[in-house]
Structure 1
């Protein structure tokens, strides 16, 4: 605190009080007052004041006079303490002959709010381990610098560290707030004022200050150094080297780079993982801070499960940045968390209005980032803006690509990226051998706004989309023997970028031609990663865009992968509906016309799937054999495996178990489990695993129940290891669940149905979700018979029929007929059995035919008994 007449001035809080009441004066007026205070009674010229208060801005002298008049008005009866020296400038003459800054020249300020250290009105949350580590570091290191993004909490942590270890130092702790020093020339003045040194008539020198603190044992807390980094580095180096007993704790967005400096990166607070329980969410330090600040503003802030779930989402979106979390909590206390989450995309408008005692740049997110942005050079600013187009990280190559068209060299971009990392605006992340970078969500929102304001958004988005189209074009070729797992793992990292690029390309101001080209290489990869629902949506958008009159005709090599991925995705999400048949028929026509054997095989696989899933065993067997003939001509082992599987499945459903088992034996005898668990891109039904599921069914039909169950369980274990939801669901639907139900292993069936339901929901496989519900009713009708559930069973059957998935139709109808008969509804049971038999006659689906005949005999016997 500094006393001027009847006024108490708090420089660190930028506050002026009169008789304990806070006075409102403008920010420029306060800046002028601070310059006069730090001059220590010396004359300050008008030009010096203007350069300090309005840096890089041309202002008229009357602006200065207006603010001087406002200060004199605040001083009231002490207005003459600000004296004008005509033609030269102003000086501040303290009414008290020993003002606070000069009363005790060599006594460092102690840990009390009135002596320079900011007063922290709120508790510190989630930083216990961090503080302990920094305290430990100061046992052995003389210069420790806390680095991190703006709003990460560096100053607050440093103050807490100083409070804990202040008693170690005989001469206490000196807090030097550089935030309010706008001109590097005044850095030494701020240091001298904090140390309580009298201001000389001339300029201060660093050597003079170092000599005055010689022999002292103190901790020097240099706060907010980034905009004065060179000057503060000189201060820290000179003073710490000249004095064995002087330690430095600095806060900055980049390193001081002085000898012996230990960098301590301050990390964001912990955020909860998605899908955690309420207890897990509340254990995250970011959530704890949010709740603490929200309840400080509104003691009635709820802690129910829904509120915690949304709070966790908010904290994740804010990357655990304490300033952002505190601002969000203040808004949540007024608006409620639901409204806050709904409008969180507008970070800078909604997250404003922090503590009034905070630095102005910490009262809104935009002000904080404006401060950081102004400290960058032109190349760093241009790069930061361009990096706003990236989602979930980027490589250096990607960063260079989006900006190189603006004339920057690779070296310039590398230097700029290094600068942004050093200044904590870009986060560096290393994963195994790859180094990636990312922007925090708030920084990215700011960068995008700057990109928009500079009219650069479209060019950067176009460069971003074309880069990822080129990257995805290097995906392993469809028939390549090379390992694909590493490539797909790398592709997962770029999903956010891929989605952002596609969203932009198909937006009204995007580029549809680029979007179609990107979708052609990206959509099949989405299918391969089990993102089947999204694959379907993205493919449909690209196919629709092809029909736009302004889009040039799309070549077959782009249309084929889009159509094939769309047909496959639609099959698994909606079932063998007419749209699926149309898509695969178009693929077949286009493949034949362009002599593309690979996509001709894919089309035959798609058409086979439609027939097989639709329960048409005759047509499925014909298509399987046609596929096999073409695969033999293609002379590729992978397609030969697929051909063997298709034929064995078709033979099983056609009621030829011996032939199916022989074909499966040939397939599995020559099959080697792939070391590369991703197989051929686009053919995600790994033939060896799903062949075992079919073999389990064949074994059951041949009376080998125990071996059938064992084979089905082995197939499921392999599918789970393989890690693709389509394969897992296929094994459950076609193998484990029906075999377990038919074998009376109800607990195994129950577990399988639960897993199927979960994976089907997760993947958006509506066909298999409907089937899981029908299997569940099948199980309940045996394990928990209840006549009142029969309408639910019928509804589940109707839902399956509506999808067109009739592969298990006869088995399901048979159990429904049994359930009806056991409830005394024999005529209805016979009608259902007749429906199943008619299906067999019409389609050639005979795998369950003998069981239907046995059921018919049972119903007839019961009828005779009755």
Structure 2
């Protein structure tokens, strides 16, 4: 800057930029702004109304330095903050630079006269920063960011809970920027002060100012500093917060070259302040176990470094590192707590520390002797913060400790007595957040949490006051009310997402409710209310365990809604349906639940029980029984008068009918289900236990029916549509159903192997990610089918056998004849003909026993091919099976399998010089399929028709060798 520029001012309305004093003033009052932010403002004012490019600003303000654009953006933010309500004067020209609006006038400064207190000398202040010894682990990014912030803002406050490392960070930061202040850095330590009134004197002593008693005030100290360059570090301000704010504010007002860096558990709340929340050190995610990845997290690095400093031989192996990671998570990455834990680990071992963390306030003590008394133990650190709180804030903090999974504002209000108004609770919660005792949960909107150590401390305080039972009861009541929908309206997906966040709190409430000092009736009500959430989360094992625990607490003396017992038994049946090896327990629970529901004349609950029985019969391959139960469901649904329930009944009947082999009847029922009440299929009343998307289920089953009827393009389109619908709603279970029931099998049956590979991979990933363990046998069998079709027979056989074994153990027989057919084809391909015949016999036997007739035509085809390959000269037995298969397919109106059987038989005929008969059999069938459809059977038929000397028939006729079968 030239001497002429240095003496200039720029003014606009109430604003004045004084380049000589390096001050921004509004109505003659100085506005805090950092040195480099001031230089940016000065440069913009000198070119007011014109574009100043980003490169121009960086070159002007950071001449000769390599600076990234985000540094410039930090300083631009500081300028806007300083301009306050006139922040819109600073305009951004996207991708280019900035302009300062307004008619800024250049002039000469007026003579500025400071208040006549004491005139400082021109000598610089000597720094009193302590030397740092141990490296500051995990704070490099924060330091780099704060260096930029300090050059943009003149007041920066580092806030965070006790033990987060604010003082160490401030001292290191001050060392890094000291050269920018001519090495004039003054550290004022308020930690040992008992009386806030002494804070001003402590500041004067740290600055070595010779002030008499009358001059020892915030303004007096500031005017004694005068225009000298200084970084004023005010450490541990929380217990002298008002006086510290006065000192900082006065320094900003009277001292144009002073920057204030403060540390506190709450903000100073002064003009121009930049509040930097200091985060905990990074901790590993629970699913990370690789040593190299664990050591990348700063909390683990600190723990290892501090332990090694006390025990030089400390060399943690992979197991130790996993335990250290768990310790770091339990201690929320708080550096002070980690140092205490590391000190104990050096003497007692990592295992002991991890096991004794529940007694953390006894374990985590023995800090360094050169630390402040409140940093000698974890309890002392928290005592310091707690004792500074007024009673209402102490009271709310202790009650909020009941929520291990975090809490909402409504939860905080519910935990206070009726005499605490909503605005009072909001104010109190806001104060706790401001004092770093409650933190905003960044994972969810509108939720807060306590650090684990803070929560443990607050629970101790609650127990000391004898208020645990009262608070636990309040929490349980709140959670029950939270689950209840206004007017009994059905829950939405948003409701379930919100309730899922409470699962940890529900665990805590249930543990208390079923404890000796708890309230079992509250626990039973909470369990019943939360069942749909467990279902939505696919947590069936946990759900069944919690329900059985609740049922065990029923007694004649317990006052409970009688409907709850019926609800819990029915819910238990459904939960067990979706876990492994639980068929007998499931049927027993459903039997009791259905009887109780009938006694209560609760039709909706009866529907749930019957629907679960239908699911069991379908899953176990008892399709005839499933159809009967579906009809029972429809009968009850008609009595309810609920059209949505009637629509579900149609779907249940349609699905069972499809597997029984009556495809046209199935198509009619499924189409009716979709057409009559499409809007009702997504209605919460109709979605049973969780958001089971009935539309997706109906479309997936109808897609299968259309495939079997030979409508290949429609089938593929509908399968894709139902998957897209599930994906658009991010409905994980609906996606799994769409893939399992439609997309995967249709791709496999039509030999679209690339599509099948992608779909099976998606299903497998979904099953693994969502923990749907009972679906693993599905992915195993589907992948086995794919491998057999791809020619990787042995791998496919192994997967099919594993999947079929798991399904048999769990009572899952649905579609097993189809899988046994694929197993037989794989065994045949590797020459294991006897085993292949045994597998196909099992498939046919199973198919007939449970009326699993939908694929019987294909099973007969496979058996016929196996008999031909067995070396028998007489083909009549095989051809009889082909004839029987064609009859079954035609009876079922199953054109897809009719074509497949006909093509196989025709291939045999063509090989035995009966080409015309072969074409007469398969030609008319192939003509019924769309020309663009590409299937192996169609390719054979079309190739046969193209051979010379053979003439295709005009229409399907009787198949040869079986004149009595039509």
What band does the TM-score fall into relative to the shorter chain? 0.7 to 0.9
The one of 596, 601, 605 equivalent to 2:611 is 605
Is the CA contact (8 Å cut-off) linking 1:729 and 1:768 kept in structure 2? no
After superposition, residues 168-207 of structure 1 pair within 5 angstroms as 168-170=180-182, 172-197=184-209
| Whole-Å separation in 2 of the counterparts to 1:543 and 1:527 | 18
Query: Who is 2:130 aligned against?
Result: 118
Is the CA contact (8 Å cut-off) linking 2:780 and 2:799 kept in structure 1? no
Alignment of 1:819 onto 2:842 = no
| Whole-Å separation in 1 of the counterparts to 2:780 and 2:149 | 60
The one of 484, 488, 510 equivalent to 1:473 is 484
Show CA shifts across 1:767-788 (max 9, x none): 3223333334444445455669
Q: CA deviation at 1:595?
A: 1.9
| Whole-Å separation in 2 of the counterparts to 1:589 and 1:440 | 48
Alignment of 1:514 onto 2:522 = yes
Name the CA shift for 1:823/1:134 in 2 (closer, same or farther; >3 Å).
closer
| Whole-Å separation in 1 of the counterparts to 2:182 and 2:779 | 74
Name the CA shift for 1:199/1:665 in 2 (closer, same or farther; >3 Å).
same
TM-score normalised by length of structure 1: 0.79
Q: CA deviation at 1:542?
A: 1.3
Alignment of 1:419 onto 2:431 = yes
Question: Which deviates further from its counterpart, 712-721 or 559-568?
Answer: 712-721
Query: Who is 2:894 aligned against?
Result: none
The one of 547, 555, 576 equivalent to 1:539 is 547
SS at match of 2:261: strand
| Whole-Å separation in 1 of the counterparts to 2:159 and 2:871 | 89
Show CA shifts across 1:788-812 (max 9, x none): 9867754542321111111112112
Name the CA shift for 1:709/1:575 in 2 (closer, same or farther; >3 Å).
farther
Query: Who is 2:400 aligned against?
Result: 387
Structure showing greater radius of gyration is 2
Name the CA shift for 1:700/1:413 in 2 (closer, same or farther; >3 Å).
closer
The one of 635, 641, 650 equivalent to 1:644 is 650
Name the CA shift for 1:141/1:811 in 2 (closer, same or farther; >3 Å).
closer
Query: Who is 1:322 aligned against?
Result: 335
Q: CA deviation at 1:609?
A: 1.0
Alignment of 1:728 onto 2:742 = no
SS at match of 2:276: strand
SS at match of 2:579: helix
Q: CA deviation at 1:821?
A: 3.8
Alignment of 1:451 onto 2:470 = no
Q: CA deviation at 1:840?
A: 2.6
| Whole-Å separation in 1 of the counterparts to 2:794 and 2:258 | 86
Name the CA shift for 1:788/1:422 in 2 (closer, same or farther; >3 Å).
closer
Unaligned segments of structure 1, at least 5 residues: 1-103
Name the CA shift for 1:227/1:622 in 2 (closer, same or farther; >3 Å).
same
Q: CA deviation at 1:654?
A: 0.7
After superposition, residues 46-85 of structure 1 pair within 5 angstroms as none
Is the CA contact (8 Å cut-off) linking 2:566 and 2:594 kept in structure 1? no
Q: CA deviation at 1:650?
A: 0.7
Unaligned segments of structure 2, at least 5 residues: 1-119, 874-966
Show CA shifts across 1:237-287 (max 9, x none): 344434333332211112223344333332334445554685765555545
Name the CA shift for 1:381/1:650 in 2 (closer, same or farther; >3 Å).
same
Query: Who is 1:717 aligned against?
Result: 724
Q: CA deviation at 1:535?
A: 2.0
Is the CA contact (8 Å cut-off) linking 1:287 and 1:312 kept in structure 2? yes
SS at match of 1:611: helix
Is the CA contact (8 Å cut-off) linking 2:281 and 2:334 kept in structure 1? yes
SS at match of 1:319: coil
Cα-Cα RMSD: 3.5
Question: Which deviates further from its counterpart, 601-610 or 789-798?
Answer: 789-798
The one of 504, 527, 549 equivalent to 2:512 is 504
| Whole-Å separation in 2 of the counterparts to 1:330 and 1:677 | 58
Query: Who is 1:17 aligned against?
Result: none
If asked which structure has higher relative contact order (CA below 8 Å, sep 6+), I would say 1
The one of 796, 810, 817 equivalent to 2:817 is 810
| Whole-Å separation in 2 of the counterparts to 1:173 and 1:858 | 92
Alignment of 1:800 onto 2:807 = yes
Q: CA deviation at 1:470?
A: 1.1
Question: Which deviates further from its counterpart, 838-847 or 556-565?
Answer: 556-565
SS at match of 1:573: coil
| Whole-Å separation in 2 of the counterparts to 1:789 and 1:141 | 67
| Whole-Å separation in 1 of the counterparts to 2:681 and 2:130 | 61
Is the CA contact (8 Å cut-off) linking 2:397 and 2:458 kept in structure 1? yes
Query: Who is 1:617 aligned against?
Result: 623
Name the CA shift for 1:449/1:505 in 2 (closer, same or farther; >3 Å).
same
Name the CA shift for 1:508/1:735 in 2 (closer, same or farther; >3 Å).
farther
The one of 347, 355, 368 equivalent to 2:360 is 347
| Whole-Å separation in 1 of the counterparts to 2:251 and 2:708 | 88
Is the CA contact (8 Å cut-off) linking 1:108 and 1:174 kept in structure 2? no
The one of 692, 717, 720 equivalent to 1:685 is 692
Is the CA contact (8 Å cut-off) linking 2:532 and 2:690 kept in structure 1? no
Is the CA contact (8 Å cut-off) linking 2:399 and 2:415 kept in structure 1? yes
Name the CA shift for 1:543/1:145 in 2 (closer, same or farther; >3 Å).
same
Alignment of 1:594 onto 2:596 = no
Name the CA shift for 1:792/1:180 in 2 (closer, same or farther; >3 Å).
same
Name the CA shift for 1:828/1:139 in 2 (closer, same or farther; >3 Å).
closer
Query: Who is 2:498 aligned against?
Result: 490
Is the CA contact (8 Å cut-off) linking 2:681 and 2:695 kept in structure 1? no
| Whole-Å separation in 2 of the counterparts to 1:148 and 1:591 | 55
Query: Who is 2:255 aligned against?
Result: 243
Query: Who is 2:534 aligned against?
Result: 526
| Whole-Å separation in 1 of the counterparts to 2:783 and 2:313 | 44
Name the CA shift for 1:759/1:579 in 2 (closer, same or farther; >3 Å).
farther
Query: Who is 2:80 aligned against?
Result: none
Q: CA deviation at 1:516?
A: 0.4
Is the CA contact (8 Å cut-off) linking 2:124 and 2:228 kept in structure 1? no
SS at match of 2:186: strand
Q: CA deviation at 1:124?
A: 2.5
The one of 334, 348, 359 equivalent to 2:372 is 359
Name the CA shift for 1:297/1:724 in 2 (closer, same or farther; >3 Å).
farther
The one of 826, 850, 862 equivalent to 2:857 is 850
